[in-house]
Amino acid sequence: MLDMKWIREHAEEVERVAVWKGIELSMEELLALDARKRRLQGKLDEQRTVRNKRSGEIAKLLREGRTQDAEASKEEVRRCNERIGQWELELAQTEKQFLAWYERVPNIVSPDSPIGRSDADNVEVTRVGEPPLFDFPLKDHMELGELHGLLDVARGVKAAGSRHYYLKGAGVLLHRAVQQLAVDMLLEHGFTLLDVPLMARGQAMFGTGFFPLGEDQTYRLAEEDRYLVGTSEVPLVTYYAGEIVDVEEPIKLCAASMCFRSEVGSAGRDVHGLYRVHQFAKVEQVVICKADPEQSEAMLQEITGHAKKVLEMLELPYRQMAVCTGDMSQKTYKQYDLEAWMPSRAAYGETHSSSNVLDFQARRSNIRYRDETGELRFCHTLNNTAVASPRILIPLLENHQQEDGSIRIPEALQPYLGGVKALSPPVSG
């Protein structure tokens, strides 16, 4: 959420960013409704002052025996109440119309964010590692998973419908191992680990910038104002909602949790295997810091660096992408994606996302701190996926497959799997 005074002073910039992000927004209507709302509020305040003054005079006039004047004041109070009632109704209607537009206003974007319409316009920043060359026929993650008994998609669909799956045996252990690897790394960097609610109220979804524009991506509990979260970013940020916090040192939170997304609008996209599923697990990083652009930029680089470290510990080739305006969400100021090499796709696929949202979430969630002068200010918040599974299993299985069908386990992951160095396929017969 942006400050409305700032929006009035930078209307052209806001409208331009809305176009870049593909958000329908009429600045003309928003500003007109804002002006009307302020005008009505001014009239109401003035009329309430008159009413209160006249009401205060009545008892005095009656004590002085000025009955006629007292009756005139009563009549004026009655007319004031009629006007106030009418204008309160108009104000309520105007505020509803105003909020319908105001809640669509996007965050601004950083000067170094690429301008583009979709992920095809994202810009490569750096590339680490080289895609492996195989001199034997490749198996994709589904073939490898079935060969090793790591997963069962058919029964997942039978139980829960499309884009659901079972992980089995070593598949579950891999799924848990990559999460614990990421958690342990974050704990070493001073993060506090939380076990978070998997459901959130509508206000929490709005406060973190996922509503109203992302509501169609969310599963709602029937007849309740509660939703299954698509990322623990929601409960992590909301942990401090409505509070004044100490950010002399940035607050660093993380969580390992299940996540749920409806994936509306993605029909036909990435439907094979584990790339785009409805239920998954993420280790999420959230940082809350001072409203200092230099500090929040430094934190963006730091949390992105943690995600890079995970990919490097998993010995996966990857590239870092600067996300363009058209691929950003409403709340995002600056974003990086990390994409791991996925041999079966012969391409890089997104595995991590890292965002600086400035004070957009903190304004909506009312998270503030006192600066050096004692003035209350809204914090900056940032988020990053340290690892997401089972998607990370795609490059992990495919890049480390061997000619004999075995799957090599990266050295950093071996302690989490009891020292196992490779998964060997079952011996036929």
**Between the CA of residue 154 and those of 144, 163, 241, 260, 298, what are the distances in Å?**
15, 10, 42, 20, 45
- Residue type at 294? E
Q: Is 78 a catalytic residue?
A: no
Contact 362, 208 (CB under 8 A): no
Contact 286, 237 (CB under 8 A): yes
- Residue 271 neighbours by CB under 8 Å, 6+ apart: 162, 163
Q: C-alpha dihedral over 323, 340, 211, 31, to 10 degrees?
A: 0
Q: Is 368 a catalytic residue?
A: no
Token look-up 């978070």 returns 196
Burial class of residue 165 in the structure, from the number of CB atoms within 10 Å of its CB (0-12 exposed, 13-18 middle, 19+ buried): buried
- Residue 73 neighbours by CB under 8 Å, 6+ apart: 54, 55, 57, 58, 61
Q: Is 276 a catalytic residue?
A: yes
Tokens standing for 23?
A: 């958000």
Sign of CA dihedral 359, 362, 366, 372: negative
HSE, CB side, 13 Å, CA atoms: give it for residue 193. Answer: 15
In b/e form, how buried is each residue of 289-323, taking b as 16+ CB within 10 angstroms? Answer: bbbeeeebbebbebbbebbbbbbebbbbbbbbbbb
In whole angstroms, give the CA distance from residue 251 to residue 285: 11
- Give me the catalytic one of 51, 54, 163, 261: 261
- Give me the catalytic one of 73, 329, 353, 355: 353
- Give me the catalytic one of 233, 350, 363, 398: 350
In whole angstroms, give the CA distance from residue 123 to residue 97: 38
Q: Is 353 a catalytic residue?
A: yes
Sign of CA dihedral 127, 191, 358, 228: positive
- Give me the catalytic one of 48, 79, 104, 276: 276
Q: Is 391 a catalytic residue?
A: yes
**What amino acid positions are annotated as catalytic residues?**
261, 276, 350, 353, 391
